[in-house]
Each structure stands twice: as C-alpha cells, then as structure tokens.
Amino acid sequence: MGIIKDRYDVIIVGGGIVGLTLALLLAKSDKRIALLDNKAKVESFNREQYDVRVSALIPASVKLFEQLSVWDDMMALRVSPFTHMHVWDGDGRGKIEFDAASVGVNELGYIVENNVMLQVLWQRVAACAQITVLNDIQLEYLQRHEHNPNIELHGGDTILSAPLVIGADGAQSWLRQAAHIAITEREYEHHAIVCTVKTEKTHDKTARQRFMPQGPLAFLPLETANSCSIVWSSAPTYADTLMQLSDEDFALTLTEAFQSQLGAVVEVGPRAKFPLIMRHAQHYVQPGLALVGDAAHTIHPLAGQGLNLGLADAALLAKLVLQDYAHKNERIKHSTLRRYERARKADNATMLAAMDGFKKLFGNDIPVIKWLRHRGLNLTDRLDFVKNLILQKAMGI
C-alpha cells in the first residue's frame, strides 16, 4: 500500500475534552479540520454506573458548552449541580463556606462525569462535516520544510500536513515533545485516589473538602442524593496503603478521615490512583503550532481547575484564530499565536502558583502557621466582600 497524504487547514492532535471542544469551536469557520487520537475507541456513558473520573466545572466552562449547544445533551445524560461549598482545616478550627445565592447565581458549578462530556462531544464532532476524525493513529515524527509553512505529521503510511497544528494530547503530549518544547516540572509528592461512594447522609448539593496536613480530601456531590465522587490526595506511600485496603476497611478509613461529615461511608466503588505532577510548558506556541489543556499545563486537583483552564485555553485560541480567518488570512499569524500564549500563560501561571501556595499552607503543621491559617480562614469566612471576590475568581466570572 502506498503513502496516504492529506492536507488540512488545522490538525488537532488529541481528542480529549479540550481537543474536541477546540475542534467544534474552530468548525465555526469554513476550514478543514483533522482531529487525531491514538486511542481506537471513545469512552461512553453508562447510566448504571458513575464514571470514576469526574470534573467540577465552573460556570465559565458551562457557558462555553452552551455556546456550542452541547450542554443540553450533557444535562440529558447526567450532570450534578452544586450550590454550596464547605472547606475546613484538619481539626475543624478554621473553616470557610460559600453559597451560590451570595453571588446571585443558582449554582456554584457542576460535577460532570468525564465520559458524559466525551460522549456528547465525540458525537457532535462525528456529525460535523468539516471535521475528519482519525482514531488509532500512532504519530512518529514531525517535519518542517524550509520555505513551506506547513507542518507535516508522519505516522505509519500516513503523512498529514497543515499550516496550523495544535497539541491537545494531554500531560505526556507527543506534539510538545516532537516540537522540542521544554517544560517546568515538579512532583506535588501527592497521589490522588478517586472513587465513587455512597454515604449515610445526603450531600445537599454541597461540595466539601477537608484539608489535612497529609493532603486534601474532597467529597463532590453526584446526582443521587447520597452518592459522591471522592478525590483523596496524600503522600504516595499512604496512597499505596489506601489502594491495598479491602473495600470495608477503605470505607471505614474514609469515614474517619472525613470526620463522618456525611455519616458513614456505606459503599465504595472501584478506586483509581493518579500521581500528581505540576507541569508547565515553557512555550505554548511556535510558528504554526500551539499547545492547549494538559499538553501545556497540569495542576493539583485540589481546586478542580485543570480542565477549566484547558477549556479557557481552547476558547481564547479559537477566538483569536477565527478572527484571523475572518480577515481572510489563510495562515495564522505568529503574532496571533503569541497573543494567545501571553494571555493564557499568565493566567495559568497564576493558578499554578496559587495551588502551590494552598498545598504548602495546608500541608504545614508548624503551630504558628496553623494558628494563622485558622484565623485567616475564619476571618475570610466573615468578610462577605472578600469571600465573594474569591468565589467570582474561582468561578471564572
């Protein structure tokens, strides 16, 4: 069989939530888009069982899905709104509570299973005439030619080329490595365990998080009133121990660690564990090339921001690229890509630094820091103005 060569206006490498969203945003132009993924199959929604991977979506991300008319389809499958948030310090002496009404909204955000988003986005992409989906493709190398601005991607018998290639291929981004873009990387020294649980008491649409010196433990409310998705971050050795416990012992340990806030944990589903690493690409763009989502940055999940930041990358990059296309520019100007990089890198760096600060502040057991932390949390809790500012920033308002 001969070599298959194909040329597109845009190639997106990676069909995760960020890559799929970006493809749909760019399909508002008349351009030919290729979306590649190295996986053969899409994860699909299962009504009988909650996906072990969920994301807390802020209103800005929901708005983006509404603009793409995919939010109603996600709601028709399953999304879980939350109206309150309770965060407290290890021993319960410092706490802060947020509620939607205080900032004049109905919900603070939504907990959405990742396979809900993936299924709806994949269906929409498959139905879009401008987007060619290439699954199960194993890319091998990237080639640039002098005097030809098109970037070529080679994999097996296939050569694909485009003047704009975007990496949405996740934390280990192949494209980022093929383009020799360096990253700043640091272990958070936490592994996160995720799992669906049932509790004795109902969650009342409240997202709860306890910060312990060993790491945060979050209970995120799901559609059924006594089901939650938990994210428990702790030192890698302790996380290994937790993974090895029987379901009964894990449920008991979890109930205790969560100070029985929702009564006993009465049922636990399969557990999955993720090493947590801070990564930040030193550059988001090169001529004709850009990175979005986890390909550009990964962050501790303690504030549930990773995907939200990736969706904000996709929204801004698409906006700027569509503006260039509207000016009849066949090729995206490098200055346009640089504008994207400047804006998003600064925003993402701020969030990465904030998560570092949180982790250090709450991971500290020195008495004076503990005292300041309690005072700080309780004081902020009483200052509605400051609290609302924090909330508005976290919600992307």
Ligand X SMILES: Cc1cc2nc3c(=O)[nH]c(=O)nc-3n(C[C@H](O)[C@H](O)[C@H](O)COP(=O)(O)OP(=O)(O)OC[C@H]3O[C@@H](n4cnc5c(N)ncnc54)[C@H](O)[C@@H]3O)c2cc1C
- Spatial distance between the Cα atoms of 316 and 339, rounded to a whole number of angstroms: 10
Q: Which is nearer to ligand X, 227 or 305 (CB)?
A: 305
Nearest residue (CB) to ligand X, 294 versus 341: 294
Q: Contacting ligand X (CB under 6 A), which of 59, 94, 215, 293?
A: 293
Q: What are φ and ψ of residue 209, in 5° steps? A: -145, 130
Confirm or reject binding of residue 51 to ligand X (CB under 6 A). Answer: no
What letter would DSSP give residue 58?
Answer: P
Rounded distance between C-alpha atoms, residue 199 and residue 53, angstroms: 19
45 binds ligand X (CB under 6 A): no
| Pick 39 or 186: Cβ nearer ligand X | 39
Q: How far is the CB of 299 from ligand X (least distance, A)?
A: 7
Round to whole Å and give the CA distance between 348 and 356.
Answer: 12
Task: State the binding string over 304-323 for ligand X (x if CB under 6 A, else -).
Answer: xxxxx-x-------------
Options 278-286, 300-308, 318-326, 384-392: segment touching ligand X (CB under 6 A): 300-308
Residues facing residue 192 across a β-bridge: 233, 274
Which residue bears the tokens 């069989």? 1
Alpha helix ranges (H) inside 34-94: 59-67, 71-77
Nearest to 98 by CA among 397, 390, 396: 390
Q: How many residues bind ligand X (CB under 6 A)?
A: 31
SS3 state of residue 86: strand
State which of positions 144-173 bind ligand X (CB under 6 A). 168-170
DSSP SS3 for 6: strand
Q: How far apart are CA 306 and CA 327, in angstroms?
A: 32
Nearest-CA neighbor of 391 among 176, 33, 108? 108
Give yes or no for residue 13 binding ligand X (CB under 6 A).
yes
- Return the residue matching tokens 């939650």: 228
> Which residue minimizes CB distance to ligand X?
16
Question: Quick one: tokens of 204?
Answer: 């009342």
| Residue 83 in the binding site for ligand X (CB under 6 A) | no
Closest distance between ligand X and the C-beta of residue 327, in Å?
A: 28
How far is 69 from 44, CA to CA, in rounded Å?
19
Q: Which stretch binds ligand X (CB under 6 A): 2-10, 203-211, 262-270, 298-306?
A: 298-306
Instruction: Identify which range of 16-24, 85-93, 98-106, 379-387 contacts ligand X by CB under 6 A.
Output: 16-24
Per-residue binding string, ligand X, 202-241, x by CB under 6 A, is -----------------------------x----------
According to CB under 6 A, which one of 192, 195, 312, 337 is a site residue for ligand X?
192
96 binds ligand X (CB under 6 A): no
Binding site for ligand X (CB under 6 A): 13-19, 36-39, 55-56, 139, 168-170, 174, 192, 194, 231, 274, 293-294, 301, 304-308, 310
